[in-house]
Amino acid sequence: MVTIYGVLRSRATRPIWLMKELGEAFDHVPVIQAYRLSDPQAADAPFNTASPAFLAINPQSQIPAMTDGDLVLTESMAIALYLARKYGGPLAPASVAEEGEALQWGFTAISAIEGPALDILYTYAAKAQETAEGQARLATLTQTLARPMARLNAHLAAHPYLIGDRFTVADILMAECVRYVQPHGPAMAPYLAVQTWIDRLHARPAFAQMMAERNTEPM
């Protein structure tokens, strides 16, 4: 049985959304980030990334992690791509060429979009978006995102999804990075095709179910 470790207020959303789309059974073990706890080593602390039992799974102390028998994976993109290949079906790459495309879009998401997108998210979480410093930071981040977002938009203006004109794991991997951009309207506004695409993805029942569960987790 596949087991995914991590709370939904983390990158664990990537493989968990995929598994919900696949309709496959899996165990979900909530593991909270140690930095969110005042004393992660306290006797009554919830299972967290500094817990010895979790460190035995991922000594890097990060979520998500996945076990499948003797296999342990500790990177969200690798976990999602592995699960897509394991279970197959239309969400998985259908050929070597599509696998290359899935890797391309996944690497684009984490190398070109995720970093500045997370900085946007953190700026809003700190309620700094109305300060002069925050606005300058957001303007810089928006400019940093312009090239990869324009490339993504051009592709999605011609195709409904990233690979093979169907919803796949590649869409999940990219969307879960683009979602971090959404709080800042000016960073999304020029990219109508991206907005249309992500709205379509977020209307999917599996995504809605996952986010409803996420919203029940403690902040």
Tell me the pLDDT tens digit for each residue of 119-178: 999 999 999 999 999 999 999 999 999 999 999 999 999 999 999 999 999 999 999 999
Q: For the segment 193-207, what is each residue's pLDDT rounded down to a tens digit?
A: 999 999 999 999 999
Reply yes or no on whether the pLDDT at 183 is more than 90.
yes
Q: Is the model's pLDDT at 218 over the cut of 90?
A: no
Q: Is the pLDDT of residue 53 over 90?
A: yes
Can you name the CATH fold of 2-91?
Glutaredoxin (3.40.30)
pLDDT of the residue at 219: 80
CA nearest to 83, candidates 100, 67, 98: 67
Fold of domain 96-207: Glutathione S-transferase Yfyf (Class Pi); Chain A, domain 2 (1.20.1050)
What is the pLDDT, as a whole number, of residue 130? 95
Q: What are phi and psi of 43, to 5 degrees?
A: -60, -35
Q: Please determine, for residue 50, whether its predicted confidence score (pLDDT) is greater than 90.
A: yes
18-36 confidence digits (pLDDT tens): 999 999 999 999 999 999 9
Q: What is the mean pLDDT of residues 39-49?
A: 96
CA distance 36 to 87: 34
Distance CA 158, CA 196 (A): 12
Query: One-letter amino acid identity for 92?
Result: A
Give the tens place of pLDDT for each residue, 67-116.
Answer: 999 999 999 999 999 999 999 999 999 999 999 999 999 999 999 999 99
Where along the chain do its domains lie? 2-91, 96-207
Structure tokens at 203: 């209307």
